Amino acid sequence: MKPNSITITYLSKVSFASLNGSDKEVDNINPLKKVTLNNGEELPYVSSQAIRRALRDKIAELGHELSPILESSTAKGAPKTALNPIQYIDDDLFGYMDAAKGKDDAAGTSNTRTSPIRVESLLALATYKGDLDFATNFMGKKVGLNPNIFETEIHSGVYRGTILIELDRVGMETKLKDPKTRELEDYHFINSEEKAKRVLAFLDAFRTLWSQGRQTRFLADISPKFVAAAYMKSKNPVFLEAVEVEESGQVNIGKLGSVLSDYDKFIEAYSFGVQEAVFEKREGMESLKDSFEKMEGWVKNYYGLN
């Protein structure tokens, strides 16, 4: 078996935030998105859609041209991009879907690319305690309006997310070679050097991840402060449920060791990277800088640039 993917489970820490808004239950309360546990407690989360949007925005901020947003192919359909993964990094890495209506009662068609970047929501490890930030939009008596009083749900704690990069699908799609035999063939639309550049650009965006949502009054940093990364021979987010924080607030390195033992057959290499300003650097961990440099090395190795 040869390596084909990189999986990264990461921790972000926020002291005071309202990261991702949900539907309003009460007019003057801005709620967080939350998932309910069996015991009734709630964990705030940032949706995978919000994370993907933040990654796209960050890639653009770092100087890469994104695919333009165009009108839908159908009257009431969602807007589409240029659907050009050859030219645009986000069409390649994040995929797309565009449905077109068929003519004369014929079946419709769709142009779809499944994203080679798989993203899990950023889920809090600490429950929501009902904290609210009280605010008022007060313009002053001169304008003759009453103040608009509202509250926003806020949360403090460590959040956990996971990303899986399908290295073998970046810059490539599978096409039907022979309709009769249903034989498929892999079509590589960019070269290995360009594939590596795109994945490295993604790692830079992920390393400095920042979401624009609810940042005007609740500035927060959701970039990874701890990463458990593996260069995999089989696509599986092995650390997704295993990265936990102890009561002391530090990463449980023992559980990560058990994952390495259970999946050693499928792990080509791994790294546990930590930002020491946030978490303690324990035995078996390295700096966040060294960890990302190691991941960059995996990317270059996979695409034959080393």
pLDDT of residue 86: 95
DSSP-derived pairing of the beta strands 155-166 and 172-178: unpaired
Phi and psi torsions of 302, nearest 5°: -60, -40
Tokens of 85: 């993964």
Tokens of 290: 């060294």
Span 138-153, mean pLDDT? 72
Lowest mean pLDDT among 71-85, 102-116, 148-162, 245-259: 102-116
Q: Which of 2, 5, 1, 3 lies closest to 170, judged by CA?
A: 5
Rounded to whole angstroms, how far apart are CA atoms 63 and 65? 7
Lowest mean pLDDT among 67-76, 228-237, 268-277: 67-76
Rounded to whole angstroms, how far apart are CA atoms 262 and 44? 30
| Count of structural domains, the chain | 1
The secondary element (H helix, E strand) that includes residue 276 is none
Tokens of 269: 């290499």
Kindly report each contact of residues 110-117 with a partner whose C-beta sits within 8 Å and lies 24 or more positions away, as own/partner: 111/83, 113/83, 113/85, 113/173, 114/169, 116/92, 116/165, 116/166, 116/167, 116/169, 116/170, 117/52, 117/55, 117/93, 117/163, 117/164, 117/165, 117/166, 117/202
43 within 8 A of 127, measured Cβ to Cβ: yes
Tokens of 36: 């309910």
Rounded to whole angstroms, how far apart are CA atoms 281 and 255? 16
pLDDT tens sequence across 81-111: 899 999 999 999 999 988 766 555 554 567 8
Rounded to whole angstroms, how far apart are CA atoms 200 and 202? 5
pLDDT tens sequence across 251-301: 999 999 999 999 999 999 999 999 999 999 999 999 999 999 999 999 999
**Domain range enclosing 221:** 5-302
- The total number of residues shown for the chain amounts to 306
Rounded to whole angstroms, how far apart are CA atoms 216 and 212? 8
| 3-class SS of residue 246 | coil
Tokens of 168: 């073998």
Rounded to 10 deg, the angle between the 192-207 and 288-302 helix axes is 160
Residue 194: band (very low, low, confident or very high) from pLDDT cuts 50, 70, 90: very high
State if pTM tops 0.85. yes
| 3-class SS of residue 181 | coil
Phi and psi torsions of 109, nearest 5°: -125, 160
Which sign does the torsion angle of CA 211, 56, 58, 192 carry? Answer: positive
pLDDT tens sequence across 169-192: 999 988 877 777 778 888 899 999
Rounded to whole angstroms, how far apart are CA atoms 161 and 225? 11
Span 142-151, mean pLDDT? 73
